[in-house]
Amino acid sequence: MQALYDFHIHTTYLKCANETMTIPAILERCASLGLKTIAITDHFNRPDVMDLHLQIKEDLRQAQSDLEIYFGVEVNVISSETGEVSINADLVEQAGFEVVIGGVHSSYHEKPDKRSIIDLQQRLMLQVIANPLIDVLVHPWWFNRLEMGPGGATEWLRDMSEIPDDYAVELGEAAVAHNTAIEANWTAVWGNGAYTDEFKEDYKQYFKRIASTGAKISMSTDAHHIDSLDGIHTLAKVLDEIGLPPQQLWRPEPRG
Ligand SMILES: [Zn+2]
Ligand SMILES: [Zn+2]
């Protein structure tokens, strides 16, 4: 049995998650699920959301809970050239974010072009991993429903056979070298109906290969609805199945 952590949770503050995701409701559900440590990680795609994040921080400070809670943020890649993300060191400092997670949120393609899409995703993920601001690379190989739907740039992604096996090892080795964790995400992939069962099976093998490098894996639900938090138990079973050693589960380190 894995320890239970959830280091990727959205709230209602930025309206990305729905109205069920208030701070008190999240903390209560996480405690009842047996979680001990969590991170709240809303998006930071524009500087004008700073005030909302500071409100989250204040409400977390006032919350009554025995949970160990980190005030975090999720950022996006904003340049497919450089892999630059939507936050900088000054903003992290200004907000006092304790955990910064981030990753790619687009295929950057309009038409299916397997080789080019796969190689670009891999390069951008490596750039995110190498970014000293980033603690966790989020949801590798996640694409939105429009991209995965009919006519979408990644509609061919029915399994992982097109993705070279050594890409997993390359990602894991980079994660070790840069002390960045790689996220096992419930809502984005294993709990996502847009992915096939074949893909989800392949994704287990993919994580097995990543784990074989010694890379740390971050558990997350990426919940946008209160019931999605429950997925953490199924995710823990998946990680058990993969044989992930408990010491390879990532936990935040004090920043500094
Ligand atoms: Zn995301
Ligand atoms: Zn997210």
Give the strand pairing for 68-76 and 99-103: parallel
> 41 CA to middle of ligand 1, Å?
10
Q: How far is CA 87 from the centre of its chain?
A: 16
DSSP letters, 104-118, are ------SS--HHHHH
> 143 CA to middle of ligand 1, Å?
9
Cα–Cα dist 229/255, whole Å: 26
Q: Which residues pair with 184 in a beta bridge?
A: 219
Phi, then psi, of 46 in degrees rounded to 5: -145, 145
The DSSP output letter for 249 is B
Residue 129: predicted pLDDT: 98
> 12 CA to middle of ligand 1, Å?
15
Residue 1: predicted pLDDT: 62
Residue 3: predicted pLDDT: 86
pLDDT digits (tens, 9 = 90+) for 85-118: 999 999 999 999 999 999 999 999 999 999 999 9
Residues of the chain under the 70 pLDDT cut: 1, 254-256
**Amino acid code (one letter) for 59:** D
Residue 180: predicted pLDDT: 98
pLDDT digits (tens, 9 = 90+) for 18-40: 999 999 999 999 999 999 999 99
Residue 118: predicted pLDDT: 98
Q: Going from the N-terminus, what domains does the chain have, and what CATH number goes with each?
A: 5-248 (3.20.20.140)
> 9 CA to middle of ligand 2, Å?
7
> 43 CA to middle of ligand 1, Å?
8
User: Tokens 């999720």 belong to which residue?
Assistant: 74
